[in-house]
Amino acid sequence: MTSNTTQNNLILFDSATSADQKGVAFEVWYSKQHLAVLREVIGASPMTCYASASCNSLSSIIELNDSVDLAKALKVRTLGEAPAKQLERFIAEPIGAQYRPEISDPTELASQCALSYPVFFGVPDHRTQEFNRWYDQEHLEILLRSPYWLACRRFKLLTPHPSGYTHLALHYLSNISALNSPERDEARRTPWRDRLATESWFRGEYRVYHRIANLD
């Protein structure tokens, strides 16, 4: 059983990938230089920071205030001689959200949840309507039966992504066990999903992010 709520903020997704495996210089650069420059543009917009060991990256998801200059935020570039090899940044608008009933304040979820599980899809225009129906009417209804699967916010990308992604599903998990749960197995084995999976575009990118103390 879920409750439906939509947070109306645009988000800025910002991620940097380390150029090596050492980590310390990369973390210092990201927190003390990169985010400092970005903060000058985004102002007081709420930010949640994440680390991904599998992607060797540090990321921030920023709930953009209305006053932020979006074009300027996208243009921030700090690589130079930095210990990072790649920046990923895009703006996305919310298209829906579902939460478990016990989530009383969705605006606090990102700052309290241990794990974020972003899933990216590149959905052709002519398949968007069915994709959205499947995600909202079946997929999330099953996933949110798991006590560890707290919420999912869904977004449409407003700016181009180098990998061609058009949609982001941002899942919030209280425990990594959610990804090995019977609910997830069930959600991935339905006839509706099987039909979609036969189409070439239906190849999502899945990442696991651990929330860390905000770095800026």
40 pLDDT above the threshold of 90: yes
Residue 6 pLDDT grade (very low, low, confident, very high; cuts 50, 70, 90)? very low
The CA distance from 23 to 55, in Å, is 12
Is the CB of residue 12 less than 8 Å from the CB of residue 108? no
CA angle at residue 15 from 111 to 162, to 5 degrees?
A: 135
3 pLDDT above the threshold of 60: no
- One-letter-per-residue 3-state SS of 54-94: CCCEEEEEEECCCCCCHHHHHHCCCCCCCCEEEEEEEEEEE
Structure tokens at 133: 């129906």
Go through the domains of the chain in sequence order and give each one's CATH number. Answer: 3-212 (3.30.70.100)
Return the pLDDT at 77.
79
Q: In 129-161, which positions are buried (b, 16+ CB within 10 angstroms) versus exposed (e)?
A: eebbebbbeebbebbbbbebbbbbbbbebeeeb
Return the pLDDT at 4.
47
Return the pLDDT at 216.
67
Is the CB of residue 143 less than 8 Å from the CB of residue 174? no
At 10, which amino acid appears? L
Residue 112 pLDDT grade (very low, low, confident, very high; cuts 50, 70, 90)? confident
